[in-house]
Amino acid sequence: MSSIALIGLPGSGKSTIGRQLARRLLLSFADSDHVIEHRLGCSIREFFEREGEDRFRDIEESVIDELSQGQDCVLSTGGGAVLRPANRQRLHDRCQVVYLRSSPEEVFRRLRHDRNRPLLQVADPLQRLKDLYAARDPLYREAAHYVIDTGRPSVATLVNMIVMQLELAPGAAARGGPGPV
């Protein structure tokens, strides 16, 4: 088995589903945003405001490079990780990448009361999500081996859907586990 990376919009369920998927597959779980915050000693939001997006993306790229070539795990990435071509390539080459596709409306419904997401602290958070989706959906698709529409299924159902996709991958049985498409 290789690592499984989850990508998608902020709020698409990468961390929640990732933890459950890791438990189900008996793998460790890594959240690139949490690793980054631990290294920085401050929140991503604080660092972003102080140092800017480019510096943050440099650190994110380094962390994704490291996490995607370590021991097999389920890796939850930040919503903007796919903005860097190197991240898309590394994730695609080293992991089985699952794009948790959520519509901007679904994400807004889930997060509309979340005050900890700087992304939504704008005049029109739904429009912001629509803009992010329009810009990032092609990048998520480029990096992904699988696309799972999150819609309204429960976390357990989504985990089952992902496991089924991984088990159905060509060559999975021959190698004793999931394989790339």
User: pLDDT by residue (tens digit) across 72-129?
Assistant: 999 999 999 999 999 999 999 999 999 999 999 999 988 877 766 766 778 898 999 9
Give this prediction's pTM: 0.90
CB neighbour burial string for 165-174, b if at least 16 within 10 angstroms, e if fewer: bbeebeebee
Query: Which residues sit opposite 29 in a β-bridge?
Result: 74
Q: Is 15 flagged in the annotation as binding?
A: yes
CB neighbours (10 Å) of residue 93? Answer: 13
Q: Is 23 flagged in the annotation as binding?
A: no
Asked whether residue 178 is domain-assigned, the answer is: no
Asked whether residue 45 is domain-assigned, the answer is: yes
> Residue 158: which CATH number?
3.40.50.300
Q: Is 39 flagged in the annotation as binding?
A: no
What's the pLDDT tens digit per position in 15-26? 999 999 999 999
Range of the domain at 71: 3-166
The amino acid at 119: L
Asked whether residue 172 is domain-assigned, the answer is: no
Sign of the CA dihedral with 2 first, then 77, 67, and 24 last: negative
Q: Is 57 flagged in the annotation as binding?
A: yes
Q: Is 130 flagged in the annotation as binding?
A: no
Helix (H) or strand (E) holding 111: helix 104-111
Asked whether residue 70 is domain-assigned, the answer is: yes
